[in-house]
Amino acid sequence: MKKTVFLSVLFAFLIFPITVFAGEIGDDLEYAGYLKTELWLKNYNDEAHQSLSAFKNTFDIGLESKFSDAWAFFFHPRYFYDAAYGIRNDFDSNFDKNQDKMGHTQRTEWLRDCYLDYFSDKLDIRLGKQQVVWGQADGLPFMDRVMPFDLTTYWLPDFADIRIPLWMLKAEYSPRLNSTLQFLLIPDFEASRSAPHNAPFSFSANNAWEGFKPVNRNYGGSAQTLIYRPAKKLKNSRVGLRWRSMMGDLEYTLNWLYGYSTSAYTFTDSFTAAIPDTSFGDYIVSRRHKLTHLAGFTFNKSFVDPGLFKDWTLRGEFIYVHNQPTYYGTDGSRKKTELTDNYAYLLGFDKNFFTNWQFSAQFYQFITNDRTWDTYQVLNAYTYGVMDKVENGLTCKIATDFMHERLKPEVLIIYSDDNDGRISLKTKYELKDNLWLGCGYHHFWGPPRGSNGQYRNNDHAFFDVTYTF
């Protein structure tokens, strides 16, 4: 353990004396990066004690090479190592068992960007590993569904850090000013990732299933999980189109995406009861990705003319997902997974008040086409809690700055109609150009099977130091 701590501290402070910024090597090669140390402390609301849940050290560097005004190459690796597993002295605990899945960068995620750019007046092409983002919602992935997500820390980090980049072709054609047609061809496939059993932010549905397994075994049952991923072949490519244009001051996009869902869904392939009329028995379940259509639109408009809404910005997103695997069952217990259609929309309002207080409010609804299937009700995919046909929610984000933008606090509140929600407070302080401090707190509340309520005993405080170069 001493060795791990030593390496972590060394890793964290090795670059501390470096006082240069993003730099240039020659005229056409530019680099920038950072080293970040994060400390996450879990606060057990009802047990009144805290525990270390992450001591994460991240190294990130971006290299940009411009061959000409039209051509450029960008390479951006990132690696993290979480020293909490070495520091916490609880070997064989559930926390410690997750080190392989949580303790360092997973799969291909170390490579954040690696692409070739070609820009011209009419056509932009980005070929390689990258992120594509649709939509403008705060704190929620409404239209932002092109990339898979790493949800091991739920939706708490900046989304750019939890999207899993993919190899793809992105082409943007501009037939006229302020109008572009974006075409995506994504032959690469990575599944969205959730936290393993009993990690700080594992989903309660997963915890319940993993908790059920040993009990099931005691009653003579068994459980086998098969994972089916689409092969990384051209024929399995996801395809996307987005038309973006303006009508006066109204900016809008029309979006369409077709391909295998980035999320894996659980299906029960077979079940043989060990004890009649009970749920104990032999399970074969599979995790599958299904072909889905996503269609939708977004819009935004800043009211620039005089009138009641002057200075306000209105945003909206609507998505329709066809053939989305959806869970049905009873509260806490998934019985079936069926393909159904879902809708969601969001309306956002932004305005600056009191000189430099940015205020952003959003109202959203998730609508499931089929609330029931046979006698079962639609379930929350994270928790298997019973959902309404229409789930309503509100978000509110307030951000400001003090001391000449040295101190930047913000708060995001997400609240749904089941009295389920979270408050995320975040503050950044610029000590020097290349040295930033951050801290914050995530508070969750709600019913045990609410999206946020599942973490109601899982508040987290975090502190970070970032050295940039």
Partner 1 sequence: MLKKAMFCLAVLLFAGVCLSARADDLEFRKVYKLKPAMSVDEIMKISEHVQYTLFANDYQSTGNVLYVEKSGATRTRKFLRQRIILGPDSLRPEYRYKDLVMFTQPTMVKGLGILTWSYNDLDKVQNQWLWLPSLKKVRKVSAAQADDSFMGSDFTTEEITTRRFEDETFKLLSEEKFKGGFSEIDAKSYYQGRDCYKIECRPKRDPWYYSKRLTWIDKEFGSTIYDEVYDPNGKLYKTILKRYEILQVNGKDYPTQVFLEVKDLRTGHKTGIVMDDIKFDQGLSEGLFTVKSLMRSRW
Task: Please give the residue ranges that form the binding site for partner 1 (CB under 8 A).
Answer: 21-22, 32-34, 62, 64, 72, 74, 113, 117, 119, 121, 124, 131, 133, 135-136, 144, 158-161, 163, 172, 174, 177-178, 180, 244, 249, 251, 300, 302, 304-306, 310-313, 315, 350-352, 355-356, 358, 401, 404-406, 430, 432-434, 436, 466, 468-469
Which residues, 6 or more positions from 437, have their beta carbon under 8 angstroms from its beta carbon?
Answer: 428, 429, 431, 463, 464, 465, 466
Choose between 108 and 270: whose C-beta lies nearer to partner 1: 108
Choose between 44 and 353: whose C-beta lies nearer to partner 1: 353
Distance CA 196, CA 206 (A): 8
Tell me the closest approach of the beta carbon of residue 446 to partner 1, in angstroms.
25
Tell me the closest approach of the beta carbon of residue 404 to partner 1, in angstroms.
4
Tell me the closest approach of the beta carbon of residue 335 to partner 1, in angstroms.
38
Choose between 313 and 333: whose C-beta lies nearer to partner 1: 313
Choose between 300 and 337: whose C-beta lies nearer to partner 1: 300
Choose between 62 and 196: whose C-beta lies nearer to partner 1: 62
Half-sphere exposure of 62 (CA within 13 A, CB side): 14
DSSP state of 16: T
Choose between 32 and 367: whose C-beta lies nearer to partner 1: 32
Choose between 206 and 262: whose C-beta lies nearer to partner 1: 262
Tell me the closest approach of the beta carbon of residue 351 to partner 1, in angstroms.
5
User: Are residues 230 and 265 in contact, defined by beta-carbon separation less than 8 angstroms?
Assistant: no
Tell me the closest approach of the beta carbon of residue 208 to partner 1, in angstroms.
33
Choose between 133 and 274: whose C-beta lies nearer to partner 1: 133
Choose between 38 and 117: whose C-beta lies nearer to partner 1: 117
Tell me the closest approach of the beta carbon of residue 199 to partner 1, in angstroms.
24
Instruction: Identify the helix (H) or strand (E) that includes residue 159.
Output: helix 159-162
Tell me the closest approach of the beta carbon of residue 238 to partner 1, in angstroms.
19
One-letter-per-residue 3-state SS of 254-316: EEEEEEECCCCEEEEEEEEECCCCCCCEEEEEEEECCEEEEEEEEEEEECCCCCCCCCCEEEE
CA geometry: angle 104, 110, 111, nearest 5 deg: 175
Which residues, 6 or more positions from 261, have their beta carbon under 8 angstroms from its beta carbon?
Answer: 289, 290, 291, 292, 324, 325
CA geometry: angle 426, 431, 435, nearest 5 deg: 90
Strands (DSSP E) contained in 9-119 are 23-25, 29-44, 49-66, 71-82, 111-119
Q: Which residues of 343-364 are buried (b: 16+ CB within 10 A; e: fewer)?
A: ebbbebebbeeeeeeebbbbeb
Distance CA 288, CA 191 (A): 10
Q: Are strands 407-416 and 372-373 parallel, antiparallel or unpaired?
A: unpaired
- 134 burial level (CB within 10 Å; 0-12, 13-18, 19+): buried
Tell me the closest approach of the beta carbon of residue 434 to partner 1, in angstroms.
6
Half-sphere exposure of 299 (CA within 13 A, CB side): 10
Tell me the closest approach of the beta carbon of residue 170 to partner 1, in angstroms.
10
Distance CA 466, CA 469 (A): 10
Choose between 302 and 427: whose C-beta lies nearer to partner 1: 302
| DSSP secondary structure string for all residues of 184-222 | EEE------EEPPTTSTT--HHHHHHHHHHHHHHHTT-E
Tell me the closest approach of the beta carbon of residue 174 to partner 1, in angstroms.
6
Tell me the closest approach of the beta carbon of residue 260 to partner 1, in angstroms.
23
The SS3 of residue 40 is strand
The SS3 of residue 82 is strand
Choose between 90 and 405: whose C-beta lies nearer to partner 1: 405
Look up residue 218 and give its amino acid: N
Tell me the closest approach of the beta carbon of residue 388 to partner 1, in angstroms.
30
